[in-house]
Amino acid sequence: MEEHILKRIREYTEAVYQMDFKKLVDQYFYPPDLKEYYDSILWLAEHMEPFGESDNFLRLFPRIDSVEELKAMPLVDFIASFLSKGIQEVGQDKMKAMMESMQITNMEKQGEVVLVEYILENVFDPDGGKIHSNLEVIEVEGEWYFKFRSSMSGVMNLFKGRIEDFNEKVKKDNLKLAKESTDLEVFPIYGYRNLEDQTVIEPRYKDAGDFCEGLAYAQVFSKYGYINKYGKFIIRPRFDKAFDFSADGLAKVGKYNEDDECYYGFINKEGIEIVPFAYTQANHFSEGMAAVKLHGKWGFINAEGKVIIEMAYDTVYDFEEGEARLIKEMGNAYKEFVVDRDGNVTESFEQDYD
């Protein structure tokens, strides 16, 4: 068995770098996989039309400009269109060198399928180490065929799931109320799903953010809090504004005062106020420092809320690689400073406005 599979792999790899797509379709690829992939592409192209996305989707496939062209295209031409793009991007010579360097490291039978693990020379980056990958072969009537796998399959399934979910929600629309109602107001509802497009947290939030440091801000009524991946509020809603947690483990949050002015502070992942609500503007923490604004001027605080760089600047930029840029306006000129995390000036210059 192994010897026969190895012979087929050598023939298959030769057909790949020679771009002999007819041979690949007729003799090597497992036919049910090709049909399933082609049907999925056709289904997506047709069903994305109502969303205005068919043209963008079809741009992924060279020489196919419309759903009608796709329907009329023979399977071998479609596969050629799909595979040739990748080979051309790599370069035929590099593809040949890479495929000829293939070394089989393991074969494992899994039911009707044999998983073949192999390594390739890294022709893109010789210092990057070898490339480890695998392919699947299946025996049909005494011959071994290669399972057709596409890197786009995950994206395609994601799109398909979203379209089906959208259409299911359409079925739940209250057409009777739509006929009777003269004014409608928009309301967003947010939930969370995984990369396989499976709903993890059912939509129930008026607003919500991405998960950062294990928590995400979420709003049910007027106040924001923070939930975990199980949808449970770990930090109870009590903020008028909320933002993602930074790598420093702090999140910027805001509260309105009696004059309807929003002031910002920072909390930790337990919801404890680390920096008081004292600033009219604030940036996220970067490298342990956050830019904050008070009385029209910017400065920097550290993760304990201590002011490290006084509020004396008109424009500031977040810390990168241990330094930040600060600017003071001076009428027709400005002065720029570069400071370290202790507030020491390491560089400065003055410039007139042109």
- pTM of the predicted model, to two decimals? 0.58
CB 262 within 8 A of CB 254: yes
3-state secondary structure of 202: strand
Per-residue pLDDT at 169: 82
Per-residue pLDDT at 151: 61
Per-residue pLDDT at 354: 64
CA dist 316 → 4, 45, 261 (Å) = 67, 47, 22
- Cα 69 to chain centroid distance, Å, stands at 31
Nearest alpha-carbon partner for 163 in 24, 29, 48: 48
CB 295 within 8 A of CB 311: yes
Cβ burial, residue 173 (10 Å; 0-12/13-18/19+):
exposed
Phi/psi region, residue 270 (left: phi>0; alpha: psi -120 to 50; beta: rest), is alpha
Per-residue pLDDT at 86: 63
Sign of CA dihedral 54, 60, 64, 70: negative
Nearest alpha-carbon partner for 340 in 283, 275, 289: 289
- Cα 178 to chain centroid distance, Å, stands at 36
pLDDT by position in tens, the chain (length 354): 778 888 888 888 888 778 888 888 889 899 898 888 888 888 888 887 777 677 767 777 767 778 888 888 888 888 787 777 666 666 667 777 777 788 888 989 888 888 989 888 887 777 777 888 888 999 888 888 988 876 667 777 878 887 888 788 888 878 888 788 777 777 778 999 887 778 889 888 989 999 999 999 999 878 999 999 999 999 999 999 999 999 999 999 999 999 999 999 999 999 999 999 999 999 999 999 999 999 999 999 999 999 999 999 999 999 999 999 999 998 888 999 999 999 999 998 888 766
Per-residue pLDDT at 281: 97
Whole-angstrom Cα distance, residue 207 to residue 298? 29
Per-residue pLDDT at 184: 75
Name 248's Cβ contacts closer than 8 Å, sequence gap at least 6. Answer: 285, 288, 303
Read out DSSP for 287-326? TTEEEEEETTEEEEEETTS-EEEEEEESEE---BTTEEEE
